Amino acid sequence: MGGYPGHSSVHPALIETAESKLTEAKKSEALIDFRVMSCGDDLQLLMSHKKGCDNGEVHALAWEAFEAATEVAKRLKLYGAGQDLMADAFSGNICGMGPGVAEMEINERTSEPVVAFMTDKTQAGAFNLPIFKIFADPFNTAGLVIDPACHQGFTFEVWDVREHRKVLMDCPGEMYDLLALIGAKSRYVIKRIFCKPGSKISEQEAVAVVSTEKLYQTAGTYVGKDDPVALVRCQSGLPALGEVLEPFALGHLVGGWMRGSHNGPLMPCSFETAHPTRFDGPPRVIAAGFQMANGDFVGPVDLFKDVAFDRARQRCLEIADYLRAHGPFEPQRLPMEDMEYTTLPQVMKTLKNRFVNAE
Ligand code: 13P
């Protein structure tokens, strides 16, 4: 809604503004509970309610909170105020209007641990690798091997974000086909994970959901990166909390970073250190842990603050040094196909008429 300074962090006044909007909504019982959080220069709203997914009233509430924060950002002349809000008027659903959305409708279990992941300086598709590892890789998730409740695997819902189509894939049965798609993370993005029929949790209920919005598709031009979020439920027939966090110890490469045009390691960070400043990065992810109690968010716990992620952070810094040394060369810079959605085509236009046929 406006960076402070540049693209690095969210000004506390924006958080306070969104909090006061959502406090009113909680008082009027439009929401059960909420948390306003931030990762880098992105403002995140976590909201619980009983109105189901895609509810117009709840989406309007989020829109109004973002609009109010944008007003404050404009007053403080924060950088790129309103960058991720694409329309002047709200049209009933926030999807496709700039902000990323990850919603799930659940029957809260006796104990319902949930992790909310929030990123900055990266693209939709950044969660493909970790979500795959959590729900399909037995080297990551011991439960897939040793817990009878996980043993049958999970169903993956994958979106083709270019053609706006989706497919359900069975894992492990169709694992190799699944990987053929989701390895191409700028086009095929994991949207939801479901349990199989006969599991403790109904196969209708998502157990993980990721925002898949592509900001350039809404804006029609590069204005910023997608900075996706994800919600993952844990334990009792699902991967354990530690299995959900484990893939982030890799520091896998994602697109984003400076001007949304570079590859960099996704660095797991504490809430306080999620302020990307080196070359506007490297890309960040935070993990907020909650227990749900009748819709109330009990938490958050800052899950990546654990010293056990220090080595992952160190490796990300080493990878960052190595990639930075490549400057404008691939693979530090994104491949040409992904650069089509950045400011590079404007530069290429000026060179177009200089080209002659090569012999
Ligand atoms: P954000 O998408 O996080 O605003 O970053 C944009 C950018 O260009 C950073 O260099």
Tens digits of residue pLDDT in 139-192: 999 999 999 999 999 999 999 999 999 999 999 999 999 999 999 999 999 999
Looking at ligand 1, which atom is closest to the CA of residue 42? 3
> Does 226 sit in the ligand 1 pocket, CB within 6 Å?
no
Q: How far is the CA of 13 from the centre of ligand 1 (A)?
A: 20
Which of 38, 78, 213, 280 has the most ligand 1 atoms within 8 A of CB, as the residue to mutate?
280
Residue carrying structure tokens 């040094």: 321
By alpha-carbon position, which residue is closest to atom 1 of ligand 1? 224
From ligand 1's centre to the CA of 343, what distance in Å? 12
262 lines ligand 1 (CB under 6 A): no
Residue 204 in tokens: 């209708």
Rounded to 5°, the CA angle 264-267-269 comes to 155
- Give the pair of three-digit tokens for residue 295: 């819709």
Any atom of ligand 1 within 6 Å of the Cβ of 100: no
If you measure from the C-alpha of residue 42 to the centroid of ligand 1, how many angstroms do you get, rounded to a whole number?
Answer: 10
Token pair for residue 182? Answer: 């989701």
Q: Distance from the CA of 5 to the center of ligand 1, in angstroms? A: 12
Verify whether ligand 1 is closer than 6 Å to residue 214 (CB atom). Answer: no
Residue 224 Cβ < 6 Å to ligand 1: yes
Q: Is the CB of 84 under 6 A from ligand 1?
A: no
257 CA → ligand 1 middle, Å:
7
* Per-residue tokens: 100: 């990323």
Cβ neighbors of 157 (< 8 A, separation 6 or more) are 166, 167, 168, 169, 190, 191, 192, 193, 194
Structure tokens at 229: 């979020």
Residue 41 Cβ contacting ligand 1 at under 6 Å: yes
State how beta strands 112-120 and 284-293 pair: antiparallel
Ligand 1 atom nearest to CA at 226: 2
Cα–Cα distances (Å) from 291 to 260, 294, 297, 352, in that order, read 34, 10, 6, 56
284 lines ligand 1 (CB under 6 A): no
**215-232 tens-digit pLDDT:** 888 888 888 889 999 999
> Which of 137, 127, 118 has the alpha carbon at shortest distance from 157?
127
pLDDT tens digits, the chain, 359 residues: what are they? Answer: 999 999 999 999 999 999 999 999 999 999 999 999 999 999 999 999 999 999 999 999 999 999 999 999 999 999 999 888 877 778 888 888 889 999 999 999 999 999 999 999 999 999 999 999 999 999 999 999 999 999 999 999 999 999 999 999 999 999 999 999 999 999 999 999 999 999 999 999 999 999 998 888 888 888 888 999 999 999 999 999 999 999 999 999 999 999 999 999 999 999 999 999 999 999 999 999 999 999 999 999 999 999 999 999 999 999 999 999 999 999 999 999 888 888 888 899 999 999 999 99
Please tell me the predicted confidence (pLDDT) of residue 121: 97
Nearest to 127 by CA among 190, 214, 41: 190
133 contacts 142 by C-beta, under 8 angstroms: no
Residue 233, token pair as written in the block: 């439920």
Residue of 274, 268, 253, 266 lying closest to 334 (CA atoms): 253
Separation of CA 86 and ligand 1 centre (Å): 16
For atom 6 of ligand 1, the residue with the nearest CA is 224
Determine whether the shortest distance from the Cβ of 120 to ligand 1 is under 6 A. yes
Tell me the best of 8, 41, 279 to mutate to test the pocket of ligand 1, counting ligand atoms within 8 Å of each CB and taking the most: 41
How many angstroms is it from 120 CA to the middle of ligand 1?
8
The CB of 7 under 6 Å from ligand 1? The reply is yes
Q: Closest by alpha carbon to 259, among 111, 110, 115, 123?
A: 123
Residue in the structure block whose two tokens are 């809404």: 218
Indicate if ligand 1 lies below 6 Å from the C-beta of 299. no
Residue 171 Cα to ligand 1 midpoint, Å, equals 35
Stretch (H or E) spanning 168: strand 165-171
CA distances from 130 to 32, 43, 196, 259 (A): 30, 22, 20, 24
Q: How many CA atoms lie less than 13 Å away from 29 in the CB half-sphere?
A: 1
